[in-house]
Amino acid sequence: MAALDNQVPSAVKARADAGEIQVTNVSRSYGVARFAKDVVRDCSFTIERHKLTVMIGPSGCGKTTLIRMLAGFEKPNAGSITLDGKPVTGPNKDRLVVFQETALFPWMTTYENIMYGPRARGEDSQHARDQAKFLLDKVGLTGFRDKYPPQLSGGMQRRAELARAMINNPVVMILDEPFRGLDAMSKELMWEYYAGLYEEFRRTNFFVTTDIDEAIFLADRLLIMSNIPTRVRAVIEVDLPRPRRLADIFDSERANEVKIQALSLLHEEAMKSFTGGSKAAADFVEAYSKRMGKAKAGA
């Protein structure tokens, strides 16, 4: 890490001040009176400092609602969310979200997209330009700095968005299924790419997914969420060695143990929704039943 420190601009080094978020007894509902629907109920968890915390749960269980509250776009009806002990009261650049849908500006080049945050704050300095150049190289897009988003592959767009978030130096990075729309091969390449960035910079990361393999490969801690209204059903410590490579991780006995434990809990929660007639839950049950069978066969 000593050699790296001589090359990395100060605002993109591993953060000594990486943040920690505490979610305490949070509830969120929509509608009024008898038409109100609980989406999150009495939910508590910690996004630990310098850890990659991954949340996984049935589709439609309330994960995105939690992300919106963590980002400050919405407020809970009850409970509290704090960052390093201070209440989260609204959006702030100390918590940046990379969403499922691409948010790159199509009329801006890759470089201009990455520089958007500093320029919007009036910080178009040589220091900021050096940061952008470093991050372009770090995410493998130096040769594409003058290309526009439609000229980039899906994986390249995702890498550009990671760089655009990193240049703002958030104390917590929040990612909402950022690789969901990629094909299987691109997705697995992005897992390794993103894991490498995390292992190098050690920011506090909160990653939301519905893909069990993605969750296990990336996570230090795995939050298993219940059916709607969501809460934390279980916390699993994913004590797999880093740096991680797909070929090593999914051949490991420990990874398979974590997968079986997680799938069992997820299957139970999906079944609860399935009995209520949810089509999304029916699809979830079918997919995870197949994965459960494969995981047990490999045990």
Residue 283: give its domain's CATH number: 3.40.50.300
List of E strands, 134-203: 172-176
Task: Give the Cα separation of 280 and 191 in Å (integer).
Answer: 25
Strands 52-56 and 204-209: parallel
pLDDT tens, position by position, 236-284: 999 999 999 888 887 889 999 999 999 989 888 777 766 555 555 556 6
Residues 44-72, mean pLDDT to the nearest whole number: 93
> DSSP letter string over 71-106?
HTSS--SEEEEEETTEE--S-BTTEEEE-SS----T
Q: How far is CA 282 from the centre of its chain?
A: 25
Q: Among residues 142, 171, 141, 181, which one has the least CA distance to residue 159?
A: 141
pTM (2 decimals)? 0.84
For 236-245, letters b (16+ CB in 10 Å) and e give bebebeeebe
Which residues span the domain enclosing 214? 19-88+210-299
Residues 72-96, mean pLDDT to the nearest whole number: 93
Instruction: Say if 230 falls within a structural domain.
Output: yes
Instruction: Say if 224 falls within a structural domain.
Output: yes
**Could you tell me which residues come within 8 angstroms of residue 160 by beta carbon, excluding any fewer than 6 positions away?**
104, 110, 113, 114, 139, 141, 149, 152
**In this predicted structure, what is the pLDDT of residue 297?**
63
Instruction: Say if 152 falls within a structural domain.
Output: no
Instruction: Say if 263 falls within a structural domain.
Output: yes
**In this predicted structure, what is the pLDDT of residue 17?**
66
**In this predicted structure, what is the pLDDT of residue 298?**
61
Instruction: Say if 172 falls within a structural domain.
Output: no
Least confident of 86-95, 130-139, 288-297: 288-297
What percent of the chain has pLDDT above 70?
A: 85
Instruction: Say if 214 falls within a structural domain.
Output: yes
Instruction: Say if 109 falls within a structural domain.
Output: no
Residues 22-39, mean pLDDT to the nearest whole number: 89
Please determine, for residue 200, whether its predicted confidence score (pLDDT) is greater than 60: yes
Mean confidence (pLDDT) of the chain: 86
pLDDT tier for residue 296 given thresholds of 50, 70 and 90: low
Task: Give the Cα separation of 143 and 152 in Å (integer).
Answer: 11
Residues 139-167, mean pLDDT to the nearest whole number: 92
**What's the farthest any 2 CA atoms get from each other in the chain?**
61
**In this predicted structure, what is the pLDDT of residue 223?**
97
Q: Is the CB of residue 71 less than 8 Å from the CB of residue 91?
A: yes
Q: Among residues 245, 270, 259, which one has the least CA distance to residue 294?
A: 259
Domain count, the chain: 1
Q: Is the CB of residue 76 less than 8 Å from the CB of residue 90?
A: no
Instruction: Say if 201 falls within a structural domain.
Output: no
